[in-house]
Structure 1
């Protein structure tokens, strides 16, 4: 009897725990919890030695070269003094474990546990420190080279593909689809004009919102993690996500948005310069990031369900896009 095709499978945490026990030198596994289902599956692992994170990548999202690039970047950044959650090799020296499941091969990686806690940024000092750390990360990544191919965070990735996904879910709202298409054309035009004058391009984290993906300790140590969206892209796009997160979380206080944004830029520019052209591109990339996230929500509805992405959700997104002044 043939098995019915699946899009997404969830691995047993008990089996994952046994795999980690047998394949890594981390002592005895005493506890494993399924921590988060996001763009990948994340398990929290505790041994009699330390705590760890085990991530299992989705087969439809990440190939082996994609993941190898990410891990190579993390090791490079750590070797250059950047605080990141490093991957941990298995007993055989390999960083990746392959799990053959119904939808294909899913790869798992064990990571160091980032000590500290997530800190929603509301103070200028925190914003400055975060900006400084990103400046150092970008400065170090300027010298990174990889033998593995990785998808670029270009216009096809950020605009064309998300827009195609959005169209397929909004066929009943053609007026809104046409609006988004015209907006996307304008956004691409704006970036093309800025590219002529020069935009900083290099390895980027891809998800620097500053709410999660970074752990802070009491003594000020900052550790970055979740590089799943990393790749070669515009640095203005990378920092635009921090700006967008401030706009979302402080939308009722524009002065706070500017205060935190300026503190972030002071921190960043204390270690690495940004051109006026890059800064001019940030508002455009804020809009592009929202378009990309809109498409991501619809795409991931395939495995989280469409219930939360109803007409009210679409209405709120359209209201946002129509309120933009710099498009």
Structure 2
């Protein structure tokens, strides 16, 4: 078991217990050593990040905590001081990169009280964006981009999370609606542009599962952080709840929090639903390429139908 081999690199007790928390892209484990605070071990998937990308993620995570007051988990180094350890697979498979984090307390924001949680989330997101605009990245910093080609693909191949056309429930009618949506998103994003005031380093996966509410909001799982539109962080925060009737009120709460830290121009606000649908279509592709992941299997073709319904609403006002 790779997680057990990784634990040895940190000098953990033989009595340590390792419990699988989640398998989505990476494998995440809760590690409990007797008479010690629990910690979280992340075992990275294969062939997702280029060399240097994981240390770059950890560098920004540290900087946000120390320079911007954003609560992020501390990285726990191995016995040799390494922050990223490469662990051979005992079963003979490829070696995996692993990172050990402190365990942060808190609960996931509740779907029945999103307005209350999204105002502080808006303020926190603004602090992250202000920091990203001014931060001097360390030498060798490398993270990927979340632009339209990365999301939806090019003639050379599908997007980073696959092709939405391969999602369950995509027939001719659904393909026609979602193709119109993709074309509209691409054009609006082209016009919106990638100037430094709108496009930079973002978390890119601020969905509810990556937020912990406990006397404020903590942010975890920066594995997808990279370069993208700042408003994409709001679209990602609304993942899997964007269809709820109270979402306009939730967005208003997020905006109040965001503007308590830094301005957001009205022209940017006018494109919020562009980024909500951008994320929705990207997740439609993700579900199609991750059929063995529990949440993808649960959502299935119903998510595609919901995407089409939201797309029709969006296209009626944004074409």
Sort the TM-score into its range (normalised by shorter chain): 0.7 to 0.9
1:167 aligns with 2:165: yes
Name the structure 1 match of 2:126: 135
Aligned partner (choices 44, 65, 69) of residue 56 of structure 2: 69
The alignment yields a C-alpha RMSD, in angstroms, of 2.9
Q: 1:221 to 1:318 in 2, by over 3 A?
A: closer
| Counterpart position of 2:31 | 45
Can you list the C-alpha shifts for 1:74-133, whole angstroms capped at 9, x where unaligned?
A: 111122122101221111111111134466332110011012222326154432212111
CA distance in 2, matches of 1:111, 1:320: 37
Mark the runs of 5 or more structure 1 residues left unpaired by the alignment.
1-11
1:64–1:107 contact (8 Å) kept in structure 2: no
Poorly superposed stretches of 4+, deviation over 4 Å: 25-29, 168-172, 196-199, 243-246, 302-313
Q: Deviations over 1:272-304 (max 9, x none)?
A: 221222212211111111110011111122676
Q: Structure 2 matches for 1:38-187, cutoff 5 A? A: 38-47=24-33, 48-80=35-67, 81-101=69-89, 104-120=94-110, 122=113, 124-144=115-135, 145-146=137-138, 147-160=140-153, 161-162=158-159, 165-168=163-166, 173-187=171-185
Distance change in 2, residues 1:283/1:92 (3 Å): same
Whether contact under 8 Å (2:162, 2:289) holds in the other structure is no
Q: State the TM-score, normalized to the length of structure 2.
A: 0.84
Structure-2 change in CA distance of 1:155 and 1:51 (3 Å): same
Please give the alpha-carbon distance, in whole angstroms, between the structure 1 residues aligned to 2:118 and 2:169: 41
Match of 1:5 in 2: none
- 1:26–1:271 CA distance, 2 compared to 1 (3 A): farther
Residue 4 of structure 1 aligns with which residue? none
In the alignment, is the contact (CA less than 8 A) between 2:119 and 2:257 conserved in 1? yes
Residue 8 (structure 1) aligns with:
none
The structure-2 alpha-carbon separation of the partners of 1:259 and 1:75, relative to structure 1 and needing over 3 Å to count, comes to same
C-alpha contact (below 8 Å) 2:164/2:282 kept by paired residues? no
Cα distance in 2 for residues equivalent to 1:18 and 1:259? 47
Q: Secondary structure at the match of 1:202?
A: strand
Stretches of structure 2 lacking an aligned partner (at least 5 in a row): none
| 2:228 aligned to which of 213, 217, 233 | 233
Hey, what's the Cα distance between the residues in 1 that align with 2:5 and 2:171?
49
In the alignment, which of 288, 292, 297 is matched to residue 287 of structure 2? 297
The separation in 2 between residues aligned to 1:309 and 1:123, in whole angstroms, is: 21
User: 2:23 touches 2:293 (CA, 8 Å); kept in 1?
Assistant: no
